[in-house]
Amino acid sequence: RTKARRQGNLHKRWISATQQAGIASGHSQPSTEVIVKVLVCGGRDYKDQDAMYSALDRAHAKRPIGIVIHGGARGADALADEWAKSRGVLRAVVEALWDKQGRAAGPRRNSGMLTLVPDAVIAFPGGDGTADMVSQATKVGVVVWRPYG
């Protein structure tokens, strides 16, 4: 199978599982609401909590975010995790395996986050790692939003 086909099938199975969970939680019909998955990236030195929360709240008001995907680093990733926790949003953390993969760990982690099939990437200011994440997402057709440049 091609990678895109595997990802599509995984996404379908995941949506099916979430619909079944809706039935198990007392809903009489499977949920037709699509869970929005947002990948958040940005620099390790990014500290503007107010700007991050404002941007994520705006996105969440437009289309409710069901899962926040991030790389588990300090800075933007940690702020995104705190936002999700404070809003009751699920979090998927894909950490880089620096000890095993060396310098390739960052780009591989970024690629790994994309296998979770995010609906969008919200990119905050950062460095080379953020630029790589935006580049990879753009190449596979994921919408990238840069709320602050």
pLDDT-above-90 percentage for the chain: 75
CA-to-CA distance for 3 and 88, rounded, in angstroms? 31
Position 34 scores a pLDDT of: 67
- Average pLDDT value for residue range 27-38: 64
Percentage of the residues of the chain whose pLDDT score is greater than 70: 77
- The better pLDDT of the pair 102, 18 is held by 102
DSSP E strand stretches across the chain: 36-41, 65-70, 90-93, 120-123, 143-145
Which residue's entry shows tokens 């995010």? 118
Model pLDDT, residue 19: 39
* pLDDT in the model for residue 16: 37
Mean pLDDT in residue range 80-95: 97
Whether pTM > 0.75 for this model: the answer is yes
Give the separation between CA 79 and CA 51, rounded to whole angstroms: 10
Paired strand residues for 93: 70
Residue 33's pLDDT band (cuts 50, 70, 90) = low
Residues 138, 144 contacting (CB under 8 angstroms): yes
Query: Does the pLDDT value for residue 125 go beyond 80?
Result: yes
**Is the pLDDT confidence value at 18 over 80?**
no
